[in-house]
Amino acid sequence: MVQQKDFQVVFEQLKAILKPYEPRLVVEHDLPGNYSLNTHYSEKYKKEVFFGAVHINKSYVSYHLMPVYAFPDLLEEVSPGLRARMQGKSCFNFKTIEPTLYQELTQLTERSFNRFAQLR
């Protein structure tokens, strides 16, 4: 049985996927169990735009990736395994460490960042 204390390890591994983008994005939150990044100010939208986040919830750890909502074609190559982790249009939920899915999520995040970079 998965316990919530195990979620901290899952959180740290998912946060590590977003962390490399810190120098090019804006850290909105970096708290225990709550990490999120925004773009810099966008002339097009007249504000910072939410990029992604990791949150520890009661029953799972969520990984939010807004570019897949804005550009659904980014999901065309997503495996059935990763798609099964989706809740809604831009959130992936995890309870355990899943290296293969994390690697795929890392690649999806990179493609997403490259696409979002075009918003400026």
Give the mean pLDDT per block of 10 residues along the chain (120 residues): 78 98 96 94 82 96 96 95 96 96 98 83
Instruction: Give the C-alpha separation, 109 to 14, whole Å.
Output: 11
pLDDT at 1: 55
pLDDT at 2: 57
pLDDT at 119: 64
The alpha carbons of the chain give a radius of gyration, in whole angstroms, of: 14
Neighbouring-strand partners of residue 50: 38
pLDDT at 42: 77
Instruction: Give the C-alpha separation, 89 to 113, whole Å.
Output: 17
DSSP state of 42: B
Could you give the C-alpha distances from 6 to 17, 19, 106, in angstroms and in order?
A: 18, 20, 21
Question: What contacts 24+ positions apart, CB below 8 Å, involve 77-84?
Answer: 78/104, 78/108, 79/104, 82/108
pLDDT at 41: 83
pLDDT at 100: 97
Instruction: Give the C-alpha separation, 98 to 90, whole Å.
Output: 19
Instruction: Give the C-alpha separation, 60 to 37, whole Å.
Output: 20
19 Cβ contact partners less than 8 Å away, ≥ 6 residues apart: none
pLDDT at 5: 72
CA atoms lying within 13 Å on the CB side of residue 40:
8
